[in-house]
Amino acid sequence: MSTVYLAHDPHFERDVAIKLLPHELLHHPTFRRRFEREAKIVASLDHPAIVPVYDFGEHDGQPFLVMRFMPGGSLADRIKAGPIPLMEVARIITRLATALDEIHLRGIVHRDLKPSNILFDQRDEPYISDFGTAKMVYGDTKLTETGGAVGTPAYMSPEQIQGESNIDNRSDIYSLGVILFEMLAGKHPYESDTPLGLAVKHIFEPVPHILDTNPDLPVGCQAIISRAMAKNREERFPTVSSMAEALAAEVLLTQNPQLLDRSKSFTGSFYRPYLSHYGQMNRRAVWQKWLLRVGVAIGLALLVGAFVWQWQGTKVVAGGNETTRIAIVSTAVSPTTSIIHTPSPSPSTPISSPIPTTTPTPQPTMT
């Protein structure tokens, strides 16, 4: 609800962006209060991934904000060109995560995260902008009327659409999940001709499958998006950084597929941070795949061991020194003890899948 102009600052000889509150909204107390609060919020944050405010004031009764000019355009412009590579998406999300977690720690919810509010500088670094609809979770004053739904319907969380007053950081996480889908797919997860139609789909329709739109993506991307866009906010990522870590882990697996075949990769200090908040769907699939391979290997080893045991027992009987030789075999493999070779799992993740065992049949001895 504001207008932004490109201007030039002659004192510092730099281009700036000037944000003005339109004349038709000057007498509306809510919009004026939002405009003033935005300046104070951004000035107090001072984060490298948030568009900085240089100045704030009024001219002929019209409030204005002087901000840093972002010559790299917006994320919306880039999405129009098609899907963005996974590695670049992870880079963008990781940088924005630090800024969003910072504002959330200060009790602020952005409430209007969308591609057009993510801007890039001349070095291709992303920034968060437009805190005009931000909400102070722990503040004494509100920026919106009680029960009002504020934001852009295409990116609003279900609880935000329904006008709940106690929204928190997980509402922004939902919005970022929608943006993540859009970056990877090149289109919005839901389609409708009206804002109301989009709002209804956010509340009732299941999260679309990203692989149906972009089948070249790793399977784990669906788990990340599903968790970020969960209808129940209790099921979402607890922080934006945990969501970024899950995405970084997916990139790591894409670049290093051998990590899936090495049990030590799951317990090593290098890989553990990337799985600390990983989507449960993908983690379960990885462990099941790993346990299946271990189970098959153990089963083959037991079959070979049983065959060797039987062969040695037969050879002992034929050789005439059966008592001594059979005693040696019985010491190595007791007929009453199952042979179980258990790999070293992560201390924090017990192996619950059964491991096949084989109990050899004792060979008769000659008397």
Residue 94 vs residues 76, 99, 216, 298, 342: alpha-carbon distances, Å: 18, 9, 22, 40, 38
Pairing of strands 126-128, 108-109: unpaired
How far is residue 305's CA from residue 46's CA, in Å, rounded to a whole number?
66
What residues pair up with 108 in beta bridges, in sequence order?
A: 136
How far is residue 140's CA from residue 45's CA, in Å, rounded to a whole number?
19
All residues at 6 or more sequence positions from 325 whose CB lies less than 8 Å from its CB, including other chains: 312, 315, 316, 319
327 by Cβ neighbours in 10 Å (0-12 / 13-18 / 19+) ranks as exposed
Instruction: Please answer whether residues 53 and 110 qualify as being in contact, where contact means their C-beta atoms are separated by less than 8 angstroms.
Output: no
Coil, strand or helix: which one is 331?
Answer: helix
Q: Using the 8-state DSSP alphabet, how is residue 162 labeled? A: T
Q: Which of 191, 110, 118, 93 has its CA nearest to residue 157? A: 110
| Catalytic position from the list 112, 130, 168, 172 | 112
Known catalytic residue at 112: yes
All residues at 6 or more sequence positions from 239 whose CB lies less than 8 Å from its CB, including other chains: 97, 101, 104, 169, 173, 277
How far is residue 46's CA from residue 66's CA, in Å, rounded to a whole number?
15
Active site residues: 112
